[in-house]
Each structure stands twice: as structure tokens, then as C-alpha cells.
Amino acid sequence: MSEEKEETGRGPTPRAAYARAMRAEEKAQKALEELSEIKSALNDLINALKSSHNVLTVPPTPIQAQSLRPGSMIHNVIAEDDEGVTEEIICPTCGTREVRKIPTKIQIREKEVIPDNYIPAPRSISEALQLLESLRLPDGRTVFESDKFWEKLNEIAQKYRPQKGKR
């Protein structure tokens, strides 16, 4: 370590450079040894797989295409979660398999908000009369028992009543 610190402004000293090169060579040698170990382990694994080739390469079980129309696929649901459904799609003719994720469509239905004192607008005169009959004044009288109601009704009648002589 002290050799590396003896650096001048131009670069490391020859002694520090030599020490650095020796350490790099040792690391490279260790890496080559590890690679040769990995290579021999892979060869052993490949040989083991070749000897038990029939056990590992079992073809997928054929799927019976019963009562399927031509062109229709077999859909097997693999998993369901909040994001959607994962399913495996299999072609009954050729056996091709595909895994696909179908996103879930979230439908939000808003509940209709009706205010507390909401009264729907009458659609006919009879509904308007029923509405007026059902309304009560603060003292308990109906609208028809109020003098103010009749005064207002006379004002409206005077305003909209056709006048004689004017055409």
C-alpha cells in the first residue's frame, strides 16, 4: 500500500505500477480457474442430462378436443388477481400454447343522489293538483286554505287571461 502512495504528480511510481500489475494478474488467474471449474460442472450436467434424456423431455400431454368447433381454442385460467386474469390458450389442432393476461374492466356505477326535500316536477295538471294538496303550511293548513295562494292565483289569471276587445 505504501508503494501506491508514493505517486508523483505525473503518475504512479514503477514499484506501485508493478505491484498493481501483479495483483491484476493474480485476479485474472483466479477468474480463469473459476471459469474452468464452471465449464467442467456444465459438462458434467450436460452428460447427466444426455443419459436421462427420456425422463426430462416428456412431451406435454395431448389435449382432447371434445365438442369444439373448428378454430375455437381451449382457455385454461391459471391465476386471478386485482389486475386481471392470466390464462393459457391452447390450440386443440396443433397444441400450440400461449399465456396471456386479460386486464379486468372495473365498472363504477354511481348511485343517484336525491336531496332530502326533493319533489319531482309534476308532468300534468292532475299531478300538480295532487302536489298542491299534499303540501302543508307551517301552521298545518293546506295551500288551498291560504288567502295568499288565492291572491297570487288571481294575479296570474289577470296576467294571462285573454282580454275582451283586443285581438
pLDDT per residue over 75-106, tens digit each? 788 888 777 888 888 887 777 888 888 887 77
pLDDT per residue over 19-38, tens digit each? 999 999 999 999 999 999 99
Domain extent listing, the chain: 2-53, 74-103, 125-160
- Is the pTM here over 0.75, yes or no? no
Residue 13, sorted as left (phi over 0), alpha (psi -120 to 50) or beta, turns out to be: beta
Nearest-angstrom CA–CA distance, 16 and 14:
6
Quick count: other Cβ atoms within 10 Å of Cβ 123?
Answer: 8
Question: In the chain, pLDDT over 70 holds for what percent of residues?
Answer: 81
Which residues partner with 103 through β-bridges? 84
Label residues 66-95 b or e (16+ Cβ within 10 Å = b).
Answer: eeeeeeeeeeeeeeeeeeeeebeebebeee
